[in-house]
Amino acid sequence: MTQMQMSISRRAAAEGMVLLKNDGTLPLAPGSEVALFGAFAEYHPGGGGSSRVNSARTVGIAQGLEEAGFMIDPQSRETAVFVIARGASETADAPDGAFDLSAAELATLSGIKAAVFKRIVVVCNCGNALNLAPLDRDAAVGAILWTWFPGGEGGAAVGDILSGKVSPSGRLASTFAERASDYPSDAGFRASRWFVPYEDDIFVGYRHFETIPGAKGKVVYPFGHGLNYTRFRLEALECCQCENVANANVANGQLKRKIETGNNCTMAKIIAVRVRVTNVGKVAGRHSVLCYTSQEGGRAQHPALELRAFAKTRLIAPGESATLALSFPMSDLAYFDDEGASGHPGSWVIDCGRCRILVGGSVRETVEVGAFDIPEQTILSTPGLKLQADRLARRLRADGSFFAAPVAYPGNLATGGGAGFREGPLAKPEITLADVAAGKASLDAFLDQMTLGEALRFLAGRPGDPPYPHSTGAIGDFPKFGIPCVQTCDGPAGVRREGTATNFPCAALLASSFDRALVGEVGRAIGEEAAAFGCHLLLAPGLCIHRHPLCGRNFEYFSEDPLVSGALAAVFVKGVQENGVGATVKHFAGNNREMARRIEKDVVSERAFREIYLRGFERAVREGRPWAVMTAYNGVNGFQCSENHGLVSGILREEWGFDGLVMTDWKTTVPMWREVEAGGDVKMPFEFEHTNMTVAAQGECIKEAECAFGWGYLSAAKIRQSAKRVCQLAMKSRGWPECERRGFP
């Protein structure tokens, strides 16, 4: 850890914390006295599981306030700082009742109020949303600061905000409702260990609360909500259609065609908006602007609002202005037709009807800046139906009613077997991977030297320590053929290792910053540490959707919105990979519950899965170009993700063009041969430790795959393609130069 990493972590924490309520209580006067209550001693810098970091430095809230110059005095009656804390980790969802404040927390608040403090500030150090309605409605509570899991420097960032050194600028990237049962996913969240019906369909998060009749009143803090210590005025300068962003030259206002009420859309490729943000308050601050669309009419159901673009200003001094350019492609308006509403089932369709463009902050603070009509629908592409739901009884409509939608899944068929491997092993290969890297031989010629068992051997991942000292697990490592060891490490919030590392804020906090550049900077800083520690492939970022507020892994994922998730994951990936360390986007896809995650089957319409749960992954893959994708444990419409041919081969590889490595998560329950046949490449190990049991388990996987090959269920072409991807990953990893220095084989 360096001073630079610590500085980035602290700045990111402050940028992503969200001031939910403030009646003028904050900021506090410099050097003022505060009394601490609640869970201030139980500071949570991050979550558990893969996000756990052995932090080199952890500044809790008490220390952060002291470093900011506050005097902590339990006897003072000036300002009470009441800390509410909740831990979170993978493998377990938050328990029933955890969404509400506990009796002990409410009793503590009552005691604080009885002591008659001049000010009460609540700081929430939590990884999951809470019911904050009692605090929001309580006039005695002057301010609420939501910190998420803010990393090792999070306490210092709290001090920066409470002291006014930093004016908060975070916005919620997920909706906070009053009750867990207000979320449409709640009814099926724990109903079964085996099946999770996604009856909420495309109406997830704000798409539900802003669309379904009667749902708006259930929201305490809407998507995009966040306060500041200053005030901003927003002016829409232009809203136009253009062929591309370069031609639009948005910053200079040279746009092709102004959008005015009553215009028809010319089906130009880009919609561009330019806004001026002016600081009309008394302190410097930053302001993020969110652009939404509202589609009305047409043949299909649509949410009332959908986020299309976002941007954040630089620090603006009082009286100064900054101009922001926001744009999105017309193709983002497309819906996936899995019912045949367009007459073209299995197609991406831009619906006819009226489209309004709105800008502002939260979904409740928008102004219309343009509108246009789309006279006729446009079919963009017809990839076909690949993930049809087989047990989904009903789907939610925009009017709050449900409609029956039983559809039979066509099957997950494997291709046949075939030849392509040596009968007996070579004592010493004539071609090594170094020869392939040097252009002296092809990968096909290299693989021709292998037996079936040898080719399958390095499609099975290796456990971590020992013998891989920097690793959560390893890929490759076949000295006979000169294939080096690619060492992986967990890293959503920093490098997870036995030694210390910088603990960065969690993804949910980073999303609340709405700052692409900042998230890219965090990715770059984590990548630098990963490289220094000998890691070759970082197992991050995660970008599943916040579907239910009690999901144990929400903190590790960005948002309830796929645009926020995908756009920020893409810049995180780019930042990591600038250091020669690969990034792995995960968990592909739909890991929205931790309970029984290895056996759970999600039952979801193909439209909802593609528009809500896959769109972020698509953006991360197309824009970020990660080295690897990790499949999720859960199943989708009849098949576990790791063996789902339609998901892995059909969508990820064929539609999106991903040619990198696909790995499983650890300890998957699916046979390796089914995962390879579906388009996966590496089955990661059954344990993290290298034991006789894990070695035996890997041997069984290989034997099963050999049998499947003999029976014609696993093709030689799929095995060879996966082997090629492992080799390609090895040759571009940081482990490759080390391999050459050691003189493999």
Handedness of CA 69, 72, 77, 79 (dihedral sign): positive
Q: How far is CA 561 from CA 291, 307, 546, 636, 702, in A?
A: 13, 8, 8, 20, 40
Alpha carbons 464 and 498: distance in angstroms, whole number:
12
Alpha carbons 77 and 68: distance in angstroms, whole number:
19
Nearest to 39 by CA among 132, 129, 133, 102: 102
Alpha carbons 111 and 326: distance in angstroms, whole number:
48
Alpha carbons 128 and 546: distance in angstroms, whole number:
9
The pair of structure tokens assigned to 243 is 């062929």
- What share of the chain has pLDDT > 90, as a percent? 80
Say which of 160, 337, 665, 681 is annotated catalytic.
665
Three-state SS string over 642-711 comes to HHCHHHHHHHHHHHCCCCCEEECCCCCCCCHHHHHHCCCCEECCCCCCCCHHHHHHHHHHHHHHHHHHHH
C-alpha Rg value of the chain to the nearest Å? 26
The pLDDT value given to residue 421:
86
Domain 433-742: homologous superfamily in CATH: Glycoside hydrolase, family 3, N-terminal domain (3.20.20.300)
- The answer to whether 209 and 2 have CB atoms below 8 angstroms apart is no
The pLDDT value given to residue 259:
64
The pair of structure tokens assigned to 532 is 């220094």
Nearest to 660 by CA among 586, 743, 608: 586
The pLDDT value given to residue 194:
85
The pLDDT value given to residue 393:
85
The pair of structure tokens assigned to 238 is 């232009």
3-class SS of residue 272: strand
Give backbone dihedrals phi and psi of 701, rounded to 5 degrees, phi first.
-60, -45
Nearest to 33 by CA among 79, 68, 2: 79
Give backbone dihedrals phi and psi of 703, rounded to 5 degrees, phi first.
-65, -45
- How many Cα atoms within 13 Å fall on the side-chain side of residue 76? 17
3-class SS of residue 88: coil
β-sheet bridge partners, residue 477: none
Please report the DSSP string for 415-431 in residue order.
Answer: P-----SBSS--SS-SS
Residues of the chain below pLDDT 50: 248-256, 261-262, 408-411, 413-414, 416-418, 741-745
Nearest to 525 by CA among 106, 18, 43, 53: 53
Query: pTM for this structure?
Result: 0.95
- pLDDT tens digit string along 682-729? 999 866 555 666 666 778 889 999 999 999 999 999 999 999 999 999
Nearest to 533 by CA among 579, 591, 575: 579
* Domains in the chain: boundaries: 3-182, 232-279+284-317+320-395, 433-742
Listed in sequence order, the residues at least 6 apart from 544 whose beta carbon sits closer than 8 Å to its beta carbon are 553, 557, 565, 587, 589, 590, 591, 592, 613, 632
Give backbone dihedrals phi and psi of 475, rounded to 5 degrees, phi first.
-125, 145
The pLDDT value given to residue 253:
41
Which amino acid is present at 22?
N
The pair of structure tokens assigned to 365 is 């603070």
- Dihedral Cα 132, 134, 140, 146, nearest 10 deg: -10
Largest CA distance in the chain: 84
Nearest to 566 by CA among 505, 514, 507, 615: 615
Q: How many CB atoms lie within 10 A of CB 262?
A: 8
The pair of structure tokens assigned to 139 is 């006039």
Exposure string over 602-641, b if 16+ CB within 10 A, otherwise e? bbbbbbbbbbbbbbbbbbbbeebebbbbbbbbbbbbbbbb
Q: Is 337 a catalytic residue?
A: no
3-class SS of residue 33: strand
The pLDDT value given to residue 416:
46
Which amino acid is present at 677?
E
Give the right CATH number for 3-182 from 3.40.50.150, 3.40.710.10, 3.20.20.140, 3.40.50.1700.
Answer: 3.40.50.1700
The pLDDT value given to residue 255:
42
3-class SS of residue 123: strand
In 17-125, alpha helices (H): 61-67, 103-114
Listed in sequence order, the residues at least 6 apart from 736 whose beta carbon sits closer than 8 Å to its beta carbon are 437, 484, 730
For domain 232-279+284-317+320-395, give the fold: Immunoglobulin-like (2.60.40)
Alpha carbons 69 and 226: distance in angstroms, whole number:
25
- pLDDT tens digit string along 39-92? 999 999 999 988 999 888 999 999 999 999 999 999 999 999 999 999 999 999
